[in-house]
Structure 1
Amino acid sequence: TTAGHLNDSIAASHKDLTKVKRMKVTGTINARDFRIMRDSMPNLTALNLKDVRIKGVYSYMFGGEQYWPDKADDDVLPGFCFKDKKTLTSFVFPDVLKRINPRVFDGAGLTGSLNIPEGVVEIGDNAFTNNDFIGVLTLPSTLKKIDASAFSECGFACPLNLPDGIEEIGGSCFYNCQYLYGNLILPSHLKKIGSSAFHGCTGLKGDLVIPKSLTVIPSCAFYNCKFEGRLQLHDGITAIGEWAFGANGFIGELELPKSLIVFGGSNFEGNYFSGSFKIPKGLLSISSLAFSNCAFTGEAEIPEGVTCIHEWAFSNSENLQKIILPSGLELIDVGAFYNCKSLRVIECKSTIPPVVNDRAFNGVPLEDLTVIVPGSALNDYKSSESWSGFKHIIAK
Structure 2
Amino acid sequence: MAFAMMCTVAFAQEKRVTLTQAGTLSSQIAAEEKLNITNLSITGPINGTDILFIREMAGAGKEENLSTTGKLTHLNLQAANLVNGGDSYFFVQKNGSKKGYNIAEDNLVDHYMFYGCDKLVNVTLPANTLKINNYAFFGCKSLASITIPASVDYLGDYAFAKCEALKKVEIPASVNNMGNAAFNSCTALETATFDKDCEITNIRRKTFEGCTALKTVKLPSTVESLGLRAFANCSSLSSFTLPASFIEKASDTFEDTPIKNYYVEDGIEGFAAVDGVLYNEDLSTLLLYPVARTDQSFTVPENVMAIGEQAFFGATNLKSVKLPSRLTNILELAFAKSAITEIEFPAELTSIDSEAFSNCRSLTKATFKGGISGIGAKAFSATRLKEVKFNEMNAVPELGRQTFFTLNRDLKFYVPDAKIEAFKQAIVSANASNEGRYEVLGLSATGISNVQNTDAAAEVSRFNAAGQRVSAPVRGLNIVKMANGKTVKTIAR
User: TM (normalized to structure 2)?
Assistant: 0.59
The answer for the alignment partner of 2:452 in structure 1 is 395
1:351 aligns with 2:384: no
The offset of 1:123, in angstroms, is: 1.6
The answer for the alignment partner of 1:240 in structure 2 is none
The answer for the alignment partner of 2:235 in structure 1 is 202
The answer for the alignment partner of 1:158 in structure 2 is 190
Bigger Rg, structure 1 or 2: 2
1:23 aligns with 2:40: yes
Q: State the one-letter code of the partner of 2:71.
A: N
The answer for the alignment partner of 2:248 in structure 1 is 215
Q: State the one-letter code of the partner of 1:24.
A: S
The offset of 1:203, in angstroms, is: 0.8
Structure 2 unpaired stretches of 5+: 1-19, 59-69, 262-275, 283-287, 425-438, 454-493
The offset of 1:250, in angstroms, is: 8.6
Quote the Cα distance in structure 2 between the aligned partners of 1:362 and 1:186.
49
Identity %: 17
Q: State the one-letter code of the partner of 1:158.
A: E
Does the CA contact (< 8 Å) of 1:335 and 1:361 recur in 2? Answer: no
The offset of 1:202, in angstroms, is: 0.9
How many residue pairs get aligned? The number is 374
Q: Per residue, is there more strand in 1 or in 2?
A: 2
Q: State the one-letter code of the partner of 2:232.
A: H
The offset of 1:333, in angstroms, is: 5.7
1:276 aligns with 2:323: yes
Does the CA contact (< 8 Å) of 1:328 and 1:350 recur in 2? Answer: no
The answer for the alignment partner of 1:290 in structure 2 is 336
**Higher RCO (C-alpha 8 Å, min separation 6):** 1
The offset of 1:227, in angstroms, is: 1.0
Q: State the one-letter code of the partner of 2:78.
A: K
Quote the Cα distance in structure 1 between the aligned partners of 2:328 and 2:86.
50
The answer for the alignment partner of 2:63 in structure 1 is none
Structure 1 segment 231-310 matched on structure 2, within 5 A: 231-234=277-280, 248-249=292-293, 263=309, 267=313, 269-270=315-316, 272=318, 276=323, 286-287=332-333, 290=336, 292-293=338-339, 299-300=345-346, 303-304=349-350
Quote the Cα distance in structure 2 between the aligned partners of 1:259 and 1:107.
43
Measured against aligned partners, the alpha-carbon deviations of 1:66-97 in whole angstroms (never above 9, x if no partner) come to 64888944321011111222322221122222
Q: Identify which of 314, 321, 326 aligns with 2:372.
A: 326
Quote the Cα distance in structure 2 between the aligned partners of 1:362 and 1:208.
45
The offset of 1:300, in angstroms, is: 4.9
The answer for the alignment partner of 1:48 in structure 2 is 76
The answer for the alignment partner of 1:38 in structure 2 is 55
Does the CA contact (< 8 Å) of 1:80 and 1:105 recur in 2? Answer: yes
Quote the Cα distance in structure 1 between the aligned partners of 2:306 and 2:227.
20
Does the CA contact (< 8 Å) of 2:355 and 2:380 recur in 1? Answer: no
Quote the Cα distance in structure 2 between the aligned partners of 1:158 and 1:332.
38
Secondary structure (helix, strand or coil) at the match of 2:54 reads helix
Cα distance change, pair 315–381 in 1 and its aligned pair in 2 (3 A) = farther
Does the CA contact (< 8 Å) of 2:157 and 2:180 recur in 1? Answer: yes
Secondary structure (helix, strand or coil) at the match of 1:111 reads coil
Quote the Cα distance in structure 2 between the aligned partners of 1:138 and 1:394.
63
Secondary structure (helix, strand or coil) at the match of 2:44 reads strand
Secondary structure (helix, strand or coil) at the match of 1:36 reads helix
Measured against aligned partners, the alpha-carbon deviations of 1:350-381 in whole angstroms (never above 9, x if no partner) come to 423666846599999x9xx9x7x8xxx75224
Quote the Cα distance in structure 1 between the aligned partners of 2:335 and 2:348.
15
Q: Identify which of 106, 123, 128 aligns with 1:91.
A: 123
Cα distance change, pair 171–123 in 1 and its aligned pair in 2 (3 A) = same
Q: Identify which of 188, 210, 217 aligns with 1:176.
A: 210
Q: State the one-letter code of the partner of 1:195.
A: L
Does the CA contact (< 8 Å) of 1:113 and 1:156 recur in 2? Answer: no
Deviates more, 1:159-168 or 1:377-386: 377-386
Deviates more, 1:132-141 or 1:172-181: 132-141
Does the CA contact (< 8 Å) of 2:355 and 2:381 recur in 1? Answer: no
CA RMSD of aligned residues (A): 4.9
Measured against aligned partners, the alpha-carbon deviations of 1:253-297 in whole angstroms (never above 9, x if no partner) come to 668999999x4798455364955356676x7x7548537335998
Does the CA contact (< 8 Å) of 1:125 and 1:147 recur in 2? Answer: yes
Deviates more, 1:104-113 or 1:301-310: 301-310
The answer for the alignment partner of 1:4 in structure 2 is 23
